[in-house]
Amino acid sequence: MAVNDDSVDEVIAIHVIEHLPNTVRVMEELFRITHPGAGITIEVPHYRHSNA
């Protein structure tokens, strides 16, 4: 799915990023698609948690 630059108001990624192979590329893409002042919420499991 193609998303235009600066076209997204908010991104919420809960327990997603840690499953992707290139987190730096993901972050670059999130910053590309969100407009200045947009919200990006990322939640990942704590690395010491048994479910991490």
Question: For the segment 28-52, what is each residue's pLDDT rounded down to a tens digit?
Answer: 999 999 999 999 999 998 877 666 5
Would you tell me how many other CB atoms lie within 10 Å of the CB of residue 26? Answer: 15
Average pLDDT, the chain: 91
* 23: containing domain: 1-52
Give how many domains the chain has, as a whole number. 1
pLDDT of residue 46: 81
Positive or negative CA dihedral for 30, 23, 18, 42? negative
- pTM given for the model: 0.77
What is the Cα Rg of the chain in Å? 12
Nearest 5°: CA angle at 51, between 45 and 52?
45
Q: Is 7:37 a contact under the CB 8 Å cutoff? A: no
Residues with Cβ within 8 Å of 26's Cβ and at least 6 positions away in sequence, in order, are 17, 20
